[in-house]
Amino acid sequence: MRQKLAAGNWKMNGTAAALAEVDALNSHSSIAAVDVVICPPATLLSRMSERLTHSSIETGGQDCHPAASGAHTGDVSAAMLVDAGAAYVILGHSERREDHGETSALVCAKAGAAMNAGLTAIICVGESETQRDDGTTLTVIEDQLAGSIPDVVTARNLVIAYEPIWAIGTGRVPTLSQIEEVHDFIRTNLITRFGEKTGAATRILYGGSVKPSNAAEIFHVVNVDGALVGGASLKANDFSAIITALAASA
Ligand SMILES: O=C[C@H](O)COP(=O)(O)O
């Protein structure tokens, strides 16, 4: 039985005032029923983690460098995320693959560093609209999975997030059968590569315009174990409604 996971990716949003949303979220009873993680900007990570010391809500980073330390101006290592209280790190988000030219090989190196530091890596994969239209979605996902996941993983330190790029922040969502097709494909891929035990126990999240209004139907799709939520994770009311829907699907 896979524990459901609701992950909030705040992206480059939020200053200290936004921590009030975390306090509000923390007061919702639904958070106890599933795993919840919020990945704020690096500048807020320590303060958010301290604020959540006695909460079941965990925190995560949005990226890390593959090296443990050194001359890498502007970067943050996996150990630094752990030091700031993080339990998770998002890696290979399409915004980093596009904005920073991150390759799957680099994502793989980052994931290895994250796992080595004790973090759970949420590795993102997803096709562009052109690739969807060209019918190459599953090939793209297969290549990203093969290149981005290190060989030595466990079901505890790996989460896959399927995020079709064309659905991120657009209000457009794939059909439920499209989501099911890709999630089933990822499940089979994980079982083939890592064996039944690890492959069947690894959580697969859907991400891309998840809202309170569409969360319940998405969470009833087979092999959807939760969501990676962007915009709707910034407001406690919206994120708690999504978490409630996830808890109800368990
Ligand atoms: O990491 C989160 C995803 O990019 C989804 O963002 P969104 O919920 O704003 O579409």
Which tokens in the block code for residue 132?
Answer: 């969807």
Ligand 1 in contact with 228 (CB < 6 A)? yes
CA atoms within 13 A on the CB side of 138: 13
Res 80: pLDDT: 98
Ligand 1 in contact with 92 (CB < 6 A)? no
> What is the radius of gyration, based on Cα positions, of the chain?
17
Distance 206 CA to ligand 1 centre (A): 10
- CA separation for the pair 64, 72 (Å, rounded): 11
Res 29: pLDDT: 85
- CA separation for the pair 233, 209 (Å, rounded): 11
Q: Which of 21, 65, 93, 127 is catalytic?
A: 93
Residue of minimum CA distance from atom 8 in ligand 1? 230
Q: What is the pTM of this model?
A: 0.98
Task: Walk me through the domains of the chain, giving residue ranges and CATH numbers.
Answer: 5-249 (3.20.20.70)
N-terminal to C-terminal alpha carbon distance within the chain: 10
100 belongs to the catalytic site: no
Ligand 1 in contact with 231 (CB < 6 A)? yes
Containing H/E element for 58?
strand 58-61
Q: Which of 5, 99, 209 to mutate to test the pocket of ligand 1 (most atoms within 8 A of CB)?
A: 209
pLDDT, one tens digit for every residue, the chain (250 residues): 899 999 999 999 999 999 999 999 999 988 999 999 999 999 999 999 999 999 999 999 999 999 999 999 999 999 999 999 999 999 999 999 999 999 999 999 999 999 999 999 999 999 999 999 999 999 999 999 999 999 989 989 999 999 999 999 999 999 999 999 999 999 999 999 999 999 999 999 999 999 999 999 999 999 999 999 999 999 999 999 999 999 999 8
Res 250: pLDDT: 84
CA distance readout (Å), 142 to 111, 174, 185: 17, 18, 8
Ligand 1 atom closest to Cα of residue 95: 4
Which tokens in the block code for residue 200?
Answer: 């069947």
Ligand 1 in contact with 62 (CB < 6 A)? no
Enumerate the known binding-site residues for substrate. 9-11, 169, 209, 230-231
Cβ pair 238, 21 in contact under 8 A: no
Distance 210 CA to ligand 1 centre (A): 7
Res 1: pLDDT: 83
- CA separation for the pair 229, 38 (Å, rounded): 9
Cβ pair 61, 76 in contact under 8 A: yes
Res 174: pLDDT: 98
129 belongs to the catalytic site: no
Res 30: pLDDT: 85
Distance 243 CA to ligand 1 centre (A): 15
